[in-house]
Amino acid sequence: MREEEKYTNPEEQLLYLQKRLDEEDTVALSELFTELDILSIARTLESFPTKTRDRLWEYIPEELLGEVLAEVDEDIRADYIEGLSASDLEQIVKGLDAQEVAEVLDVADEEIKTSVYASLDQEIRAQVENLHAYEDDVVGRYMDPETVNVKQGVSLEAVQRYIRIHHLLDDESQQIMITDKDKRLLGTLTLIDLIKQPQESIVDEHMDPPYTLNDQMKVSEAAALLRSKELPFVPVCDSDGLLVGQLNAADVLEITQDDADMTFKHMSGVSDEEEVFTPILRSAKSRGVWLGINLLTAFLAAFVIGQFEEVLDQIVALAILMPVVASMGGIAGSQTLTVVIRGLALGQLAGNNKQWLYNKELWVGMSNGLVWALVVGFISYLWFSDPLITLVITLAIFVNMSLANVSGVLIPLVLKRFQIDPALSGAVILTTVTDVVGFLSFLGLATLIIL
Amino acid sequence: MREEEKYTNPEEQLLYLQKRLDEEDTVALSELFTELDILSIARTLESFPTKTRDRLWEYIPEELLGEVLAEVDEDIRADYIEGLSASDLEQIVKGLDAQEVAEVLDVADEEIKTSVYASLDQEIRAQVENLHAYEDDVVGRYMDPETVNVKQGVSLEAVQRYIRIHHLLDDESQQIMITDKDKRLLGTLTLIDLIKQPQESIVDEHMDPPYTLNDQMKVSEAAALLRSKELPFVPVCDSDGLLVGQLNAADVLEITQDDADMTFKHMSGVSDEEEVFTPILRSAKSRGVWLGINLLTAFLAAFVIGQFEEVLDQIVALAILMPVVASMGGIAGSQTLTVVIRGLALGQLAGNNKQWLYNKELWVGMSNGLVWALVVGFISYLWFSDPLITLVITLAIFVNMSLANVSGVLIPLVLKRFQIDPALSGAVILTTVTDVVGFLSFLGLATLIIL
């Protein structure tokens, strides 16, 4: 097997792995896992159902197990760690850096955690305890506590020598921190400048002014910030202004990826944690909740229709056309909702932009409403040759589509004001509105005009 | 205004800017734009409707205009460039690197493009023409053609000296390329190793084996690959194996961000290009297409209902309950669709995983179908006290939800086989299926059982 084959296409790699598993070719499997990097192993584990995954763990080289464990999805990590003793885990976290140890121990029982703590190298242990002291959703919890710090007034040459003598700079370091004697950050120096600038000049001449994050900042906000400013890393300071670590883009990437992913899932009523290979029972349960909520709104719509039994009983064409009204409103509204949720995520909606957007969506809703109301009216006339039904459905589509767009703006803005994730409940509230308004206007107008 | 104020919160920055615009405080505006970095300026421009944006351009310092233009959304760039003469544009692209010039000229008229080409520095011009020679969707089009190349057998010390003498290493370089005399890539050396390893040792000892991309690879595939492997950059080679440039993570980030964004928008029938501040007419038009497609499927559903006029005419309760059947199927199906589309994007679905997933979704669909069918049946019995209607809706919900989940797996897999984006058409096809199956099973069973 050529090296290329395993790397260029995740799907082909998966197929190759499946074949070797089917043939129980343990030699090829061990060989494959020796050649793969940590990230590829983690992604591979995530691409199999639980049973197969349990077989795969055995082929992972022992010395990589800790790093793989730190890298895989939290669910999978918890599943694997559940079966381990304290001494197994002590073995696994040996050699990991503080960030990785913190990640792995996060899902362990308190008892095991305490025992593993005791086995750690003192410096790492202090760092891990420090990371664990932070809340789950703040920057401090996700930062790398190890940074390369130098004092003011030092020459670049001296910095380079200092790095070589003390074996500093791990794979994640990308900048040098220039601090005063209290560990207050004065500036940062890129590795690029460290190399390209005259070696006898001092760090002060080349340092960039420090742009820092507070360790108590919400990590999702920090992630969005790093992403929008395309920063590879940012120094982290505590509330006294002292340097405590750095937040790396690699970790940030994962978080924003997760955020986008969450929005995408929430819009369709899927929970954050659900992946393709989530076991049947867990999937069924988590989706069931959403189905239940939807059922309430569906019965609300049914209840509205129920109020118009009389007119439905007389004109069966109304029952036939009902879904068209609801469906056009639903689509128009969710188009608006999608654009607005994205605008909110990008922080583009503030002040009089909101008013502008409201007006825009009203006009888009009314103009599209008018066009499609006429189209639907025309088709309905061809179908039922009834001018009153035609009038009723034309008006109803226009009303529902115009209101749908306005709701698509107002619902997420109101939800955000109340600190509710608009992606999670926006879609279901919107559908409720467009269904209720749709049926109410259609059947209500029919009662008024036709009966 | 404190520096912090502008940076920590995009929304507050927006509000500040709006106030200064309302007050026509040109001094504060000029000052703000002098302090902002390129990315912040670009994001700010994207956060305003066209009219306001046209006012903002004037406050951007002239020397930043080119970089800002290279950074903003393509739509906005095209709008701005439309009004410029060839000599304006020549002024603007002066000092930009090849990647940026290529980006800016991409949206210009052929005539203006030729004239600006002629004004460029010869080296940059050759690079730009080279970039423009690539198709729009391949790696070669997005790579940075400038890399730092050194020969084998050179000491680290010599490499550092070479970089300083020739002023190499721009902000985007992160590695040194080690090539043979034909520019064939032998390996890469990280800046970290260049600094931390013994300076008298030669590059060969520390270089990593080259992992390269072909310049003709689809850029979206490359982006997904870089992202999944968390690589900051990858060298790019042509089909002869010669080094032609490097693809940077920063550019890749944008592309995968755009991809996720596209999936999100496509699922709701919004086109890629639409943003919050897309003008009314353009929004209305692009959404109109999707509404038209939806109308076809809505009328298909109406047509199915129309086949059951007789039973609807006799039992009005059916018309009332119809939306419940369609809605539960629709939600169940789109939950599955979301999970599957995400699995496809991550490359997790290959070989017998597909079979596993199909079985899983069938079971999830049937178990949730059973639970919610019973709940709906119970509520319907309380409402209409009619055992036959109860039986019909219970069966219909079970059938529709089970089939919805199976369709949620099959539809995206089939679409992918035909190279159609499952996010774009998956949702509309799925809704058609769940509507048609829902109405067919509900009204069909009613005809069979009740009539």
B290 chain-A contacts, CB cut-off 8 A:
331, 335
A160 and B195: CB-CB below 8 Å?
yes
Q: Nearest CB to B291: which of A173, A191, A332?
A: A332
Higher pLDDT pick, A272 / B44: B44
pLDDT tens digits, B392-445: 999 999 999 999 999 999 999 999 989 888 888 888 899 999 999 999 999 999
The answer to whether position B350 is within a domain reads yes
A264 chain-B contacts, CB cut-off 8 A:
260, 263-264, 267, 338, 342
Q: Which amino acid is at A294?
A: N
pLDDT band for position B342 (cuts 50, 70, 90): confident
Is pLDDT of B5 > 70?
no
pLDDT at B347: 79
pLDDT band for position A1 (cuts 50, 70, 90): very low
Cα separation, A213 vs A234, in Å, equals 7
Please give the backbone phi and psi of residue A188, each rounded to the nearest 5 degrees, phi first: -130, 150
Cα separation, B413 vs B365, in Å, equals 18
- Find residue A144's DSSP bridge partners: A246
Identify the DSSP state of B247. E
Higher pLDDT pick, A396 / B222: A396
A227 and B253: CB-CB below 8 Å?
yes
Q: Does A133 touch chain B (CB under 8 A)?
A: no
Q: Does B248 touch chain A (CB under 8 A)?
A: no
* Residue B271: strand, helix, or coil: coil
Q: Which CATH number is A68's domain given?
A: 1.25.60.10
Structure tokens at B82: 């439309």
Instruction: For residue B318, give its domain range.
Output: 280-449
Are A194 and A296 part of one and the same domain?
A: no
A164 and B319: CB-CB below 8 Å?
no
Mean pLDDT of B336-352: 85
The answer to whether position A273 is within a domain reads no
Is pLDDT of B1 > 50?
no
Q: What helix, strand, coil percent values describe chain A, rounded to 5?
A: 70, 10, 25
Q: Which CATH number is A187's domain given?
A: 3.10.580.10
pLDDT at A253: 67
Contact predicate B180/B207, CB 8 Å: no
Cα separation, A404 vs A440, in Å, equals 13
Structure tokens at B30: 């000029």
Substitution target in A203, A339, A429, A439 with the highest count of B β-carbons within 10 Å is: A339
Give the residue from B215, B235, B265 where a domain finishes. Answer: B265
Contact predicate B437/B411, CB 8 Å: no
Closest-CA residue of B relative to A39 is B229
Q: What angle do CA B296, A329, B47 make, to 5 degrees?
A: 110
The answer to whether position B271 is within a domain reads no
Using DSSP bridges, classify how beta strands A185-190 and A175-179 pair: parallel, antiparallel or unpaired.
antiparallel
3-state secondary structure A302-369: HHHHHCCHHHHHHCHHHHHHHHHHHHHHHHHHHHHHHHHHHHHHCCCCCCHHHHHHHHHHHHHHHHHH
pLDDT at B412: 94
B291 and A372: CB-CB below 8 Å?
yes
Are A233 and A317 part of one and the same domain?
A: no
pLDDT tens digits, B9-34: 677 788 888 889 889 999 999 999 99
Helix segments in B307-351, DSSP class H:
309-314, 316-345
Cα separation, A273 vs A74, in Å, equals 9
Q: Which amino acid is at B183?
A: K
Please give the backbone phi and psi of residue B187, each rounded to the nearest 5 degrees, phi first: 180, 175
pLDDT band for position B3 (cuts 50, 70, 90): very low
Contact predicate A398/A441, CB 8 Å: no
The answer to whether position A143 is within a domain reads no
The answer to whether position B144 is within a domain reads no
Contact predicate B338/A268, CB 8 Å: yes
Buried b (16+ CB within 10 A) or exposed e, A142-162: bbbbbbbebeeebebebbbee
Percent of chain A with pLDDT over 90: 60
Cα separation, B305 vs B158, in Å, equals 80
Helical packing angle, B422-449 and B249-267, nearest 10° = 20
Nearest to A435 by CA among B283, B331, B447: B331
- Closest-CA distance of chain A to residue B192, Å: 7
How many structural domains is chain B composed of? 3
Cα separation, A274 vs A287, in Å, equals 9
Closest-CA residue of B relative to A190 is B171
Cα separation, A243 vs B420, in Å, equals 50
pLDDT tens digits, A247-291: 987 777 677 666 777 788 888 888 888 888 888 888 899 898 889
Are B202 and B333 part of one and the same domain?
A: no
A280 and B15: CB-CB below 8 Å?
no
B232 chain-A contacts, CB cut-off 8 A:
232
Structure tokens at B219: 């850029």
Are B17 and B123 part of one and the same domain?
A: yes
Are B68 and B179 part of one and the same domain?
A: no
A291 and B372: CB-CB below 8 Å?
yes
- Closest-CA distance of chain A to residue B449, Å: 20
Q: Nearest CB to A291: which of B12, B37, B331?
A: B331
pLDDT band for position A201 (cuts 50, 70, 90): very high
Q: Nearest CB to A305: which of B18, B298, B320?
A: B320
pLDDT tens digits, A233-246: 899 999 999 999 99
Sign of the CA dihedral with B60 first, then B64, B66, and B67 last: negative
Identify the DSSP state of B350. -
pLDDT band for position B264 (cuts 50, 70, 90): confident
User: Which chain A residues in 37-66 lie under 8 Å from chain B, judged by CB atoms?
Assistant: 37, 39-40, 43, 46-49
Give the residue from A137, A161, A194 where a domain finishes. Answer: A137
Output Rg (C-alpha) for chain A, integer angstroms: 29
User: Which chain B residues in 286-325 lie under 8 Å from chain A, judged by CB atoms?
Assistant: 287-288, 290-292, 294-295, 297-299, 301-302, 305-306, 309, 312-313, 316, 318-324
User: Which chain B residues in 138-197 lie under 8 Å from chain A, judged by CB atoms?
Assistant: 160, 163-164, 167-171, 173, 191-192, 194-197
B290 and A14: CB-CB below 8 Å?
no
Are A251 and A338 part of one and the same domain?
A: no
pLDDT band for position A4 (cuts 50, 70, 90): very low
Is residue A338 classed exposed, middle or buried when 0-12, 13-18 and 19+ CB atoms within 10 A define those classes? buried
pLDDT tens digits, A413-425: 999 989 888 888 8
Is residue B214 classed exposed, middle or buried when 0-12, 13-18 and 19+ CB atoms within 10 A define those classes? middle
ipTM: 0.81
The answer to whether position A315 is within a domain reads yes
Structure tokens at A229: 């400013």
Contact predicate B103/B132, CB 8 Å: no
Q: Does A216 touch chain B (CB under 8 A)?
A: no
pLDDT band for position A8 (cuts 50, 70, 90): low
Q: Nearest CB to A371: which of B48, B163, B288?
A: B288
A169 and B163: CB-CB below 8 Å?
no
* Residue A101: strand, helix, or coil: helix
- Closest-CA distance of chain A to residue B350, Å: 6
Are A61 and A173 part of one and the same domain?
A: no
Mean pLDDT of B28-42: 89
Are B250 and B381 part of one and the same domain?
A: no
Q: Does A84 touch chain B (CB under 8 A)?
A: no
Q: Which amino acid is at B245?
A: G
Buried b (16+ CB within 10 A) or exposed e, B118-144: eebeeebbebbebbbebeeebbbbbbb
Mean pLDDT of B256-277: 79
Give the residue from A116, A137, A158 where a domain finishes. Answer: A137
B430, B432, B437, B438 alpha-carbon torsion, rounded to 10°? 100
Substitution target in B160, B257, B328, B339 with the highest count of A β-carbons within 10 Å is: B339
Is pLDDT of B88 > 80?
yes
- Find residue A214's DSSP bridge partners: A237
Distances (CA, A) of B263 to A138, A348, B189, B341, B421: 29, 20, 36, 9, 9
Cα separation, B216 vs B237, in Å, equals 9
- Closest-CA distance of chain B to residue A81, Å: 23
Are A301 and A439 part of one and the same domain?
A: yes
pLDDT band for position B4 (cuts 50, 70, 90): very low
Nearest to A403 by CA among A428, A371, A438: A438
Is residue B8 classed exposed, middle or buried when 0-12, 13-18 and 19+ CB atoms within 10 A define those classes? middle
Is pLDDT of A403 > 90?
yes
Q: Nearest CB to B379: which of A299, A364, A431?
A: A299
Mean pLDDT of A418-434: 88
pLDDT at B231: 81
- Closest-CA distance of chain B to residue A201, Å: 13
pLDDT at B253: 66
Q: Which CATH number is A284's domain given?
A: 1.10.357.20
3-state secondary structure A184-208: EEEEEEEHHHHHHCCCCCEHHHHCE
* Residue B162: strand, helix, or coil: helix
Are B350 and B430 part of one and the same domain?
A: yes
The answer to whether position A323 is within a domain reads yes
The owner of tokens 């050529």 is: A2
A192 and B211: CB-CB below 8 Å?
no
pLDDT tens digits, A14-70: 888 888 989 999 999 999 999 888 888 998 898 888 888 999 999 999 999 999 999
Cα separation, B102 vs B142, in Å, equals 9
The answer to whether position A74 is within a domain reads yes
What's chain B's average pLDDT?
Answer: 89
Percent of chain B with pLDDT over 70: 97
pLDDT at B382: 96
Are B229 and B284 part of one and the same domain?
A: no
* Residue A212: strand, helix, or coil: coil
Substitution target in A258, A348, A389, A433 with the highest count of B β-carbons within 10 Å is: A348
A301 and B323: CB-CB below 8 Å?
yes
Mean pLDDT of B145-153: 93
Structure tokens at A258: 């997760």
A253 chain-B contacts, CB cut-off 8 A:
227, 230, 253
Is pLDDT of B154 > 70?
yes
Distances (CA, A) of A175 to A180, A195, A247, A255, B367: 16, 12, 12, 22, 54
Cα separation, A251 vs A247, in Å, equals 8
A328 and B211: CB-CB below 8 Å?
no
The owner of tokens 């190399």 is: A195
Substitution target in B335, B384, B430 with the highest count of A β-carbons within 10 Å is: B335
Mean pLDDT of B330-343: 91
Are B20 and B61 part of one and the same domain?
A: yes
Cα separation, B390 vs B448, in Å, equals 14
